[in-house]
Structure 1
Amino acid sequence: MTEQEDRVAREREEIAARVASFKATQQKFAREREEYYATTLGNAWSGFTRPSVWE
């Protein structure tokens, strides 16, 4: 390989690593949002009592 090809290959590897890191971070944020939503909604519903129509 020439020096230019080596440089291009290193740049591609760096870009791939950055993309993988970004994707992992976005997945972490998505999991945290889903967990927060489930917890918040669960807490909201736990305090809710549905009035009975038949009583």
Structure 2
Amino acid sequence: MTDNEHRLAREREEIAARVASFKATQERFQRERQEYYASTLGNAWSGFQQKTA
């Protein structure tokens, strides 16, 4: 491989690593949003429904 091909391969690897990191961060944010809803908003809505029933 030439120097240019090595450079391009390294750049592709770096981009792939950044995309993977971004995807992992987005998945973590999604889990945190779901947990927040379940623990806070879900419980509040459940309590509201019990009082009106």
Question: RMSD of the alignment, in Å?
Answer: 1.4
User: Matched residues in 1 for 2:27 and 2:12: separation?
Assistant: 22
**Alpha-carbon deviation of 1:42?**
3.2
User: Matched residues in 2 for 1:42 and 1:36: separation?
Assistant: 9
Unmatched segments (≥5 aa) in structure 2: none
Report the identity percentage. Answer: 69
Return structure 1 stretches of 4+ with deviation > 4 angstroms: none
User: Matched residues in 1 for 2:24 and 2:40: separation?
Assistant: 24
> What does residue 46 of structure 1 align with?
47
**Alpha-carbon deviation of 1:46?**
3.0
**Alpha-carbon deviation of 1:50?**
2.6
Larger Rg: 1
> What does residue 31 of structure 1 align with?
31
Higher helix share: 2
AA matched with 1:37: Y
Matches within 5 A, 1:1-20: 1-20=1-20
TM-score when scaled to structure 2? 0.84
**Alpha-carbon deviation of 1:49?**
1.4
